[in-house]
Structure 1
Amino acid sequence: MLSFFRLLSALPIGLLHSVGAAMGWVTFALSPTYRRRFVANARQAGYGFGAVSAAVGHAGRMVFEMPRIWLGKLPRCTMVNEEVALKAYARGKGILFLTPHIGCFELSVQDAARRWSSQHGDITVLYRPARQAWLAQILETARNRPGVQAVPTTLAGVRQMIKALRKGAAVGLLPDQVPPQGLGVWSPFFGRDAYTMTLAARLALQTGAAIIVARCERLSWGRGYVLYLEELATPLSPTLEIAVQEINAAMERTIRQCPEQYLWGYGRYKQPRVESPAAAGESAAEGQA
């Protein structure tokens, strides 16, 4: 399977996007559950299907561009508001890059690392090891690209993130990812309570790191990507539950800037999974950040 991924990683990004868009619509047509969730999530945010139908194709593009982002030559990516990150690095308290499941979020960290890791150190990202052996092999190769340090969802992994921030380096997270039971709080997201991780807020409050919201949009016809950076509008509240709400609100604003590239089919409002005692002991790292 790794050989197949390497083969795909050598293909032009435009071709991968074309195939991916078609497969996105095939999946939408064949999966009633996915289709219902997509439409319901979009409606919850105030969008009719027509307004966000392009997101069906973009979900497929996301899947098919992964081999290129993980294993191949990184595609062209321009950056808007780079000075936001440079200013934050100059403060020396670290950067917490946050992005929802929008656009090519995998490229966000890769492009940032390509630009700044040589001067400011690796960007640390959190990942959950894959259960399938073939996927775990691919992720082990892909996640640790030059300038990126992937750490597992364990206490040791979270400690590495805190250490990186305190050294003035950067950390990347997807705060709209549903955490396991006991590692989040119920917080409004587009007007409906969603189980939301507390890790992002805890890291920021504990270390004083700057929060930068990132959004990496795909350009049409395989022309590359644009990475937008934006400072959090106001400092986080020192109260954890309010800080989590503020991060959710920031994610909402980012999604509304490009709703046609958000993963509306993601189970954002699902019930958190209950882990086995051993796994929960490892993942409790998040609650101790």
Structure 2
Amino acid sequence: MLHVMGAAMGWVAFVASPTYRRRFLANSALAGYSFGAVRAAVAHAGRMVAELPRLWMGATMPCALTGEACVEQAYAAGRGIVFLTPHQGCFELSAQAAARRWSAERGPITVLYRPARQAWLAKVMETARNRPGMLAVPTTLAGVRQMIKALRRGEAVGLLPDQVPPEGQGQWAPFFGRDAYTMTLAVRLAQQTGAAVVLARCERLPWGRGYVTHFEPLSAPLSADMDQAVLQINQAMEHLIRQCPEQYLWGYGRYKQPRGEAAAAEPAAGGAA
């Protein structure tokens, strides 16, 4: 029911907002997709919003896993894991599903989130995202230090590297052929702790049949050079998106200018954490 309602909401937003519609069409065209090839993403964006109340506050949602071997190998080697997922499908469920599978044995998964400006909504987000086996930390230096400590304990963290960070917390790198301001946090976390990088995407199945989260390793070891490593992350996100482009949030402002903000979420000073 929520997905039917959400699909309608997605199309209403697409028709009613010229800015959103232009950005959706421009971003998908930049990646080489016609509107016909990704039009299903309009409805999936609405489904993503509609399922949030259940995802945050309802009963556990069914989610199968594939590609678990790369996760098991990283844990068996005693390494922490940096899970990376784009704004695709039910991306928040990917962390919940991983936590249900591994947190009892391997410790919680720490995820980074940006608190809402409204106090009541910030409290809801903090409470809702602290699901069993998960620890949500804010995008502050303290939150990043918690992530570094978790990785050094051999635990896992989760990030969305296709999210535009504040000014000073990223660098420009190609994404589908156009420069996009890209976070350096994922690279720094892996480089400072020796953690494994695992890619994840959570696919929404039709007709409310549940979800499938797919895991896979980074195609090549992360480069020690920051510029090259950031490019690797962007290319990895492109790879995941192309596997299911009809569930990516093409209307997200991926190429916007970063907003000015104190560089609180960089772990450059986290060596003492």
TM-score class normalised by the smaller sequence: over 0.9
Q: How does 1:63-74 map to 2 (within 5 A)?
A: 63-74=49-60
What amino acid sits opposite 2:57 in the alignment?
L
What amino acid sits opposite 2:194 in the alignment?
G
Q: Secondary structure at the match of 2:252?
A: coil
For 1:60, the equivalent position in structure 2 comes to 46
- Whole-angstrom distance in 2 between the partners of 1:288 and 1:220: 45
For 1:217, the equivalent position in structure 2 comes to 203
1:123 aligned to which of 85, 101, 109: 109
Give deviations 1:192-235, integer Å, cap 9, x for gaps.
00000000011111111111100100000000001100100100
- Whole-angstrom distance in 2 between the partners of 1:137 and 1:161: 20
2:172 aligned to which of 162, 186, 191: 186
| 8 Å CA contact retained: 2:145, 2:267 | no
What amino acid sits opposite 2:240 in the alignment?
T
CA RMSD after TM alignment: 1.0
2:68 aligned to which of 62, 65, 82: 82
- Whole-angstrom distance in 2 between the partners of 1:108 and 1:245: 23
Task: Using the TM superposition, give the Cα deviation of residue 134 of structure 1 relative to its aligned residue in structure 2, in angstroms.
Answer: 2.7
2:237 aligned to which of 251, 256, 278: 251
Number of equivalenced pairs: 270
Give deviations 1:146-179, integer Å, cap 9, x for gaps.
1101111111111110110111100000000000
Task: Using the TM superposition, give the Cα deviation of residue 113 of structure 1 relative to its aligned residue in structure 2, in angstroms.
Answer: 0.6
| 8 Å CA contact retained: 2:170, 2:183 | yes
What amino acid sits opposite 2:135 in the alignment?
Q
TM-score normalised to structure 2 length: 0.97
Task: Using the TM superposition, give the Cα deviation of residue 287 of structure 1 relative to its aligned residue in structure 2, in angstroms.
Answer: 4.8
Q: After alignment, is 129-138 or 211-220 more displaced?
A: 129-138
TM-score normalised to structure 1 length: 0.92
Q: Would you identify which runs of 4 or more consecutive aligned residues in structure 1 move more than 6 Å?
A: none
Percent identical: 70
What amino acid sits opposite 1:203 in the alignment?
L
1:262 aligns with 2:248: yes
Can you give the 5+ residue segments of structure 1 that lack an aligned partner in the other structure? Answer: 1-14
1:285 aligned to which of 254, 260, 266: 266
What amino acid sits opposite 1:212 in the alignment?
V
For 1:11, the equivalent position in structure 2 comes to none
1:234 aligns with 2:220: yes
Task: Using the TM superposition, give the Cα deviation of residue 288 of structure 1 relative to its aligned residue in structure 2, in angstroms.
Answer: 3.9
